[in-house]
Structures are given as C-alpha cells and as structure tokens.
Amino acid sequence: MQQSNIAHELQPCELGFLSTIQDDGSRNGMTRNAAPLILIVDDDESIREVLEDLLEMRDFQVLSACHGGEGVELCRQHSCAIGAVLLDVSMPGLSSGETLEQLRLIVPGLPVIIFSGYSEAETTVRLGERDWSGFLQKPFRIDELFTMLDRFL
C-alpha cells in the first residue's frame, strides 16, 4: 500500500471544519463541509496501513504519523481540519502523554482516542490522569472504532 500523500496536498483549514472554541476549551458547533480528517499516530506501519484502509473505506480523509513529534507537526499544519486523533500509547521518542498534551495545546477540545494493547487501567498508569476522549484496547473490532469516532464527529 502506498503511504497516504494527503499531507502534501492539503493546506491548513482546507477541509473546512468550522468550530467555536469555548472558554473551557471544548469545541462547539462543529460542522463538516468535507470528509472528516483523522490523524493516526502509531509507530507500527502495519497498524497505520490497516487503519488508513478502514477509514478511507468509510470516506474519512487520513493523515498518518509514525511518532508523536510527527503527529504534533501534522496537527499544527492541519489544525482547522482534523476532526479526531487516533493515538497509540507505546511509541519511541515523544511519549504518548506528551503528544496528547501538545495536540490539546494546538487544538483545545480535539477528540483524542487512545488505543493500546494495555488495559485501560494500565494505560491510565502509563499516561497519568491525562484527559483523553476515548479508549480502545487492541485488538479492537472495526465497529468499536467507528462507534467511537461517531461519538466525536
């Protein structure tokens, strides 16, 4: 499978997610005038590819990052367009917790769905009491992924 080249084709805000950031940091009034853009951040190429394929089959636009630093940079470049982030817990370099914090600094209220082979309790220990939007334990079913995304988009 070819790596998605969407990062090279899109300009920030091009997909046109319109939202109001509330005082508490939440996003309100989000309307979508194009396919939702999902940012996948995972160091495992095979998982990224499977997620890309599944999301694209459901008409999502996809950006992929192989580590937290790249995910943060893509979020910075496309902050107006990203509807949600799928973030793996175990990655080299910038930790998932630090990645989550930086993503939320760029886009307050951005839905960040954590996924991990660890249980949710173990993930909480690893990440601390950071405020993620949802949790999926690997291996997860396709319907669980789309149900989670539907909650936030």
Q: Is residue 7 part of a domain?
A: no
Q: Is residue 28 part of a domain?
A: no
What CATH number corresponds to the domain at position 38?
Answer: 3.40.50.2300
Q: Is residue 145 part of a domain?
A: yes
- Phi/psi at 27 (nearest 5 deg)? -95, 140
Q: Is residue 4 part of a domain?
A: no
DSSP 10: -
Mean residue pLDDT of the chain comes to 82
pTM of the predicted model, to two decimals? 0.78
Q: Is residue 6 part of a domain?
A: no
Q: What is the pLDDT of residues 76-111, one digit of tens each?
A: 999 999 999 999 999 888 999 999 999 999 999 999
Rounded to whole angstroms, what are the CA distances from 126 to 37, 41, 102, 114, 119? 28, 17, 17, 12, 10
Q: Is residue 111 part of a domain?
A: yes
The count of domains in the chain is: 1
Domain that holds residue 109: 13-22+33-152
